[in-house]
Amino acid sequence: MLFDTHVHLNAEQFNEDLEEVISRAKEAGVGRMVVVGFDRPTIERAMELVERYEFLYASVGWHPVDAIDMTDGDLAWIEELASHPKVVAIGEMGLDYHWDKSPKEIQKEVFRKQIHLAKRVKLPIIIHNREATQDIVDILREEGAEEVGGIMHCFSGSAEIAKECVDMNFYISLGGPVTFKNAKKPKEVAQEIPLEKLLIETDCPYLAPHPNRGKRNEPAYVKLVAEQIAELKGIPLEEVENVTTQNANKLFNIN
């Protein structure tokens, strides 16, 4: 069974054909998925979906791009939702220096507040990082995020940084980019990080793997990510499936 650890089935791109998308995922062998909410509407929709489908779980948090909009009420609401039995993580959270909607200092503050929250509710965290690797690593260390651990989502950094994150109790999650021909770093990460520390994801509807690059991504394509990792490590696909699924179950405390 494949476990897609990061999906946005709560995105409007799936409004028209969610049922078909889910059946294709099932056919491809995807048995579990975590629906990630990152603002009011996407969290509400994620909670609706996990109530409706037994094989879906939720992660709730606030995206760094919108950090400037997060109120104390939003944070309290996320903390309340954390006690729901199907909420298995807090996030996505982190830093995104690509877009300048939210100033860096506000992003950092909102990131730290969510790490504190995760420690209170004892759930792992899902990290979004865009062009902010060093600040992320520093904050995780300063805030003792190791205590809850979590996921470096759609990791695109070097194998060296990946190892630093693994040492801080984080899993490295690989997505579509590991299948791109020119993606040197994710391929190195796939080879150098032990399978026991890897997870797989689509981040759908974004970042579709080769040969679907540029199209809408969907959970069925997580198999392409697993196949690429199997090829890079020179091991059977089944082993990648089994171990990454065990890793996810353990991290999310499912079963």
Question: Which lies closer to Ni ion via its Cβ, residue 131 or residue 238?
Answer: 131
Q: What is the closest distance, in whole angstroms, from the C-beta atom of residue 60 to Ni ion in the complex?
A: 13
Nearest approach in angstroms of CB 170 to Ni ion is: 16
Among residues 149 and 176, whose Cβ is nearest to Ni ion?
176
| Integer angstrom CA distances of residue 80 from 61, 151, 185 | 12, 22, 38
Alpha carbon 97 to its chain centroid, in Å, reads 18
Is the bond into 209 cis (omega within 30 degrees of 0)? no
CB of 92 to Ni ion, least distance (A): 5
- Residue 203 or 241 with smaller CB distance to Ni ion: 203
Please identify, among the stretches 180-188, 202-210, 211-219, 237-245, the one whose residues bind Ni ion according to the rule CB under 5 A: 202-210
Q: Which stretch binds Ni ion (CB under 5 A): 42-50, 172-180, 184-192, 200-208?
A: 200-208
Angle made by CA atoms 151, 57, 155, in degrees to the nearest 5: 20
Least distance (Å) between residue 211 CB and Ni ion: 22
Residue from 184, 222, 178, 225 nearest 9 by CA: 222
Residues 6+ positions from 31 with CB-CB distance below 8 Å: 1, 2, 3, 55, 245
Q: Which is nearer to Ni ion, 218 or 230 (CB)?
A: 218
Q: Which residues bind Ni ion (CB under 5 A)?
A: 203
